[in-house]
Structures are given as structure tokens and as C-alpha cells.
């Protein structure tokens, strides 16, 4: 059994100038594969709503669904630090709710940390969760749970005032005790400024080359999501073609009688 990474190991990677690798996973087989490949952190993202459940966005995902996916990912991994996303409305109402729900992701889901979206206005909530010894990852810039305020998935921080707010958000998240912060959908210069000015690691998604680490959605990099492909995604494999070919072969062999053979049967 390998030793699982801790938030201290993740902080050290920034100190040593080593890039931090993060991917999302929602189930046992994917967690097992990326853990064996040596990924530093696995994010059980609420993107599960879009890429697994087929919702239009992440808003319908529930805490119980997150706990279910989290347990599978934790069972499938040995060495990666597992972060569980706090879904929409599981931490926005009050700090008591936020602590209880973060606690469920740790106690029932088995995660080692939680992630929540928001900067300055979520600082008190981050502090409250950190104060009960639950590590928190921040998430600022393009925050998908704010889709209706943002009017879509749009790059944030292009205007000076917005950029200043995102920088203030990053500082507030660090001061509140987060162990790392996801920077999503912001200009690369702003991401560099934030990365240089924080002591905690920045994990970028659509935030350029200067972040301390990168995160992507596993379905996007493997070509398993046909909805849309944002500019920041790089496709490393096209697994859907392989899967479709396997399924078509199965259907035609059953129809033709080529499967099963005597080798697949019991005597
Ligand atoms: O839910 C998710 O997958 C995320 C990443 C895109 C950062 O929050």
C-alpha cells in the first residue's frame, strides 16, 4: 500500500518548483488508472453533473451524489490526495451547513479535502471549515456554479476592475487558510500575477502556463465528452472511437451468432 499524499506534500511541490498534476475522476476504474499513473491529486468534481449525468451544468448535483462518487474514487486510489467538490447550495446558505456538508464529504465520502467556489465573499466559510481541520481548496475566476450571474462560461478578469477583484479573491482565499486555489478561465498574465503573489499552489484550468499545477476534466482529455470542447482542453486520446467500435462489434456478433462460442459457455 502506497502512502497517500497530504496537503503538506502538495505545498512542498510548489516550494520545489515542481508542477502539480490534477485530473477529475468520478468512479473506481478511472481513479485506479490515474492513481497508478502517479497523479498528485484527484478532484471528484461537480463536473460529474455535466460529463456523467448529462445535465446542462453543475447546478443540479447533490451532496449525496458527490458522496457516492467520492467513495468510489477513494476506493480506487492509494497515493493521490482526493478532493471532493462541494456542490451548489451545500455551503452558500450558512457556515453551519457548510461545515456539516464538508464533514460529510470527509466522513462518508472519504475525501482528504473539499473544494468550494468563491473568493472574498466565501472567505469566512473557508475559514470556518479549515478551523474544524478540513483542508479546503479554493476556486476563483470562472466559477461554474455562478453560471447565471456570469451569463455563461466566459473568461473572467479581462477588465481591470474584474482582474483586481480576482486578485483580491485569491489573497482572501489564501488568508482564510485554503491549501491551494483553482484558477479557472482567467487571462494568463493575471494567473501569473496571482501565482507569484501567493504562497499556496495555484492549479490552473484555462489559466495559462504559469500556474503551479494544472487540472482538466478526464472526459475532456480522453474525448469522452461530445458537448463542447473549450480552447484550454487538449485531447490526449480518443477513447469514444474505441468504445463505439467495441460496442458495434458486440452487437453484430450477438446478432450473427458469432458470440458466445463454446469458450464462453459452462459445461
Ligand atoms: O468540477 C470540476 O471538475 C472542477 C474543475 C473543472 C476545476 O471544478
pLDDT at 225 over 90: no
- Tell whether ligand 1 has an atom less than 6 A from the beta carbon of residue 214: no
- Angle at Cα 14 formed by Cα 42 and Cα 187, nearest 5°? 80
Mean pLDDT to the nearest integer, 26-52: 98
Sequence ranges of the chain with CATH classification 3.20.20.60:
7-236
Ligand 1 site-directed mutation target among 53, 85, 185, 229, most atoms within 8 Å of CB: 85
pLDDT at 226 over 90: no
Superfamily, domain 7-236: Phosphoenolpyruvate-binding domains (3.20.20.60)
Q: Which of 117, 120, 184, 193 is catalytic?
A: 184
| pLDDT tens per residue across span 37-48 | 999 999 999 999
Active site residue 184: yes
pLDDT at 10 over 90: yes
Task: Enter the C-alpha cell of residue 11.
Answer: 505545498
Mean pLDDT to the nearest integer, 213-220: 97
Ligand 1 atom index nearest CA of 58: 1
Helices (H), the chain: 7-15, 28-36, 48-51, 63-76, 95-107, 123-131, 147-150, 160-175, 188-197, 218-221, 239-256
pLDDT at 1 over 90: no
What local confidence, expressed as pLDDT, does residue 229 receive?
79
Rounded to the nearest whole angstrom, what is the distance from the C-alpha of residue 217 to the centroid of ligand 1? 7
pLDDT at 60 over 80: yes
What local confidence, expressed as pLDDT, does residue 199 receive?
98
- Tell whether ligand 1 has an atom less than 6 A from the beta carbon of residue 205: yes
Rounded Cα gap, residues 90 and 71, in angstroms: 18
What local confidence, expressed as pLDDT, does residue 214 receive?
98
Rounded Cα gap, residues 206 and 87, in angstroms: 21
Q: Which residue, judged by its Cα, is nearest atom 8 of ligand 1?
A: 45
Q: Which residues, 6 or more positions from 150, have their beta carbon under 8 angstroms from its beta carbon?
A: 142, 143, 156
- Tell whether ligand 1 has an atom less than 6 A from the beta carbon of residue 169: no
pLDDT at 80 over 80: yes
* Average confidence score pLDDT of the chain: 97
- The answer to whether the CB of 109 falls within 8 A of the CB of 84 is yes
Rounded to the nearest whole angstrom, what is the distance from the C-alpha of residue 116 to the centroid of ligand 1? 10
Rounded Cα gap, residues 16 and 127, in angstroms: 27
Ligand 1 site-directed mutation target among 22, 61, 137, 182, most atoms within 8 Å of CB: 182
Percentage of the chain beyond pLDDT 70 is 100
Which of 30, 49, 22, 23 has its CA nearest to residue 144? 49
Q: Which helix (H) or strand (E) element contains residue 155?
A: none
What local confidence, expressed as pLDDT, does residue 2 receive?
84
Mean pLDDT to the nearest integer, 94-100: 97
Amino acid at each position: 500500500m502506497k502512502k497517500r499524499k497530504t496537503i503538506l506534500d502538495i505545498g512542498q511541490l510548489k516550494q520545489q518548483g515542481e508542477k502539480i498534476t490534477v485530473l477529475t475522476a468520478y468512479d473506481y476504474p478511472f481513479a485506479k488508472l490515474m492513481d497508478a499513473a502517479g497523479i498528485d491529486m484527484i478532484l471528484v468534481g461537480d463536473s460529474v453533473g455535466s460529463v456523467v449525468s448529462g445535465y446542462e451544468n453543475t447546478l443540479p448535483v447533490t451532496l449525496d451524489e458527490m458522496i457516492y462518487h467520492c467513495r468510489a474514487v477513494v476506493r480506487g486510489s492509494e497515493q493521490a490526495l482526493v478532493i471532493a467538490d462541494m456542490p451548489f447550495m451545500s455551503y452558500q446558505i450558512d457556515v453551519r451547513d457548510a461545515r456539516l456538508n464538508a464533514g460529510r464529504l470527509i466522513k462518508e465520502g472519504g475525501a482528504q479535502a473539499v473544494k468550494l467556489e468563491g473568493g472574498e465573499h466565501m472567505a469566512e466559510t473557508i475559514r470556518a471549515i479549515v478551523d474544524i481541520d478540513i483542508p479546503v481548496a479554493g476556486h476563483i475566476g470562472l466559477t461554474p456554479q455562478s453560471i447565471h450571474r456570469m451569463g455563461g462560461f466566459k473568461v473572467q478578469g479581462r477588465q481591470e476592475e474584474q482582474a483586481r477583484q480576482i486578485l483580491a479573491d485569491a489573497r482572501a482565499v489564501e488568508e482564510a487558510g485554503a491549501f491551494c486555489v483553482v484558477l479557472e478561465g482567467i487571462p494568463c498574465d493575471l494567473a501569473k500575477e496571482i501565482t507569484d503573489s501567493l504562497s499556496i499552489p495555484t492549479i490552473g484550468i484555462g489559466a495559462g502556463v504559469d500556474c503551479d499545477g494544472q487540472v482538466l476534466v478526464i472526459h475532456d482529455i480522453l474525448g469522452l465528452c461530445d458537448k463542447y470542447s473549450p480552447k484550454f482542453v487538449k485531447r490526449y486520446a480518443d477513447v469514444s472511437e474505441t468504445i463505439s467500435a467495441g460496442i458495434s462489434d458486440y452487437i453484430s456478433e450477438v446478432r450473427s451468432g458469432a458470440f458466445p462460442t463454446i469458450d464462453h459457455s459452462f459445461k
